[in-house]
Amino acid sequence: MTDTPRTIEISPVTRVEGHGKVTIHLDQNGIVDEARLHIVEFRGFERFIHGRLLWEVPVIVQRLCGICPVSHHLAAAKAMDVICGVDELPPTAEKMRRLMHYGQVMQSHVLHFFHLAAPDLLFGFDAPAAKRNIFEVLREKPELGRRAILMRKFGQDIIEATAGKKIHGTAAIPGGINHNLPIATRDAFLKTVAEMQDWALDALALARDYTLGHAELVGGFGVFPSKYMSLVRADDGALDLYHGNLRMIEPDGSAVFDQLPYDKYHEVLREDVRAWSYMKFPFIKDMGPDDGWYRVGPLARMNTVSFIDTPRANAARDELMAANNGQRTHAILANHWARMIEVLHCVEKITELLHDPDLQGTDLRATGDRREEGIGVIEAPRGNLIHHYKVDENDQVTYCNLIVSTTHNNEGMNRAVKAVAVKELSGQSEITEGMLNHVEVAIRAYDPCLSCATHALGQMPLEVQLLDANGHIIDRRARAL
What CA–CA distance (Å, rounded) separates 242 from 377? 8
Which residue among 252, 369, 394, 456 contacts other proteins (CB under 8 A)?
456
The enclosing H or E element of 80 equals: helix 69-83
The length of the chain is: 481
DSSP tag of 116: I
What CA–CA distance (Å, rounded) separates 39 from 448? 11
Per DSSP bridges, beta strands 227-232 and 294-295 are parallel
Q: Decide: is 50 part of the binding site for other proteins (CB under 8 A).
A: no
What CA–CA distance (Å, rounded) separates 19 from 41? 6
Which residue among 7, 9, 40, 66 contacts other proteins (CB under 8 A)?
66
Which residue among 31, 122, 138, 321 contacts other proteins (CB under 8 A)?
138
Residues with Cβ within 8 Å of residue 436, at least 6 apart in sequence: 8, 10, 464
Q: Decide: is 134 part of the binding site for other proteins (CB under 8 A).
A: yes
Which residue among 285, 370, 371, 479 contacts other proteins (CB under 8 A)?
479
Q: Decide: is 175 part of the binding site for other proteins (CB under 8 A).
A: no
Q: Decide: is 455 part of the binding site for other proteins (CB under 8 A).
A: yes
Mapped onto helix, strand or coil, the DSSP state of residue 279 is coil
**Window 75-114: residues binding other proteins (CB under 8 A):** 111, 114
Contact 97, 77 (CB under 8 A): yes
What CA–CA distance (Å, rounded) separates 449 from 438? 19
Contact 364, 81 (CB under 8 A): no
Which residue among 31, 36, 122, 156 contacts other proteins (CB under 8 A)?
156
Which residue among 48, 224, 278, 399 contacts other proteins (CB under 8 A)?
48
Q: Decide: is 135 part of the binding site for other proteins (CB under 8 A).
A: yes
Using the minimum distance from each CB to other proteins, give the nearer residue, 245 or 437: 437
Contact 452, 29 (CB under 8 A): no
Using the minimum distance from each CB to other proteins, give the nearer residue, 110 or 269: 110
**What character string, x for contact with other proteins (CB under 8 A) and - otherwise, covers 113-132?**
-xxx------------xx-x
Which residue among 311, 458, 470, 471 contacts other proteins (CB under 8 A)?
458
Q: How far is the CB of 341 from other proteins (least distance, A)?
A: 21
What CA–CA distance (Å, rounded) separates 449 from 65? 8
Site residues, other proteins (CB under 8 A): 14-17, 43-45, 48, 60, 63-64, 66-67, 69, 111, 114-116, 129-130, 132-135, 138, 142, 145-146, 148-150, 152-153, 156, 166-167, 449, 452-460, 462, 479-481
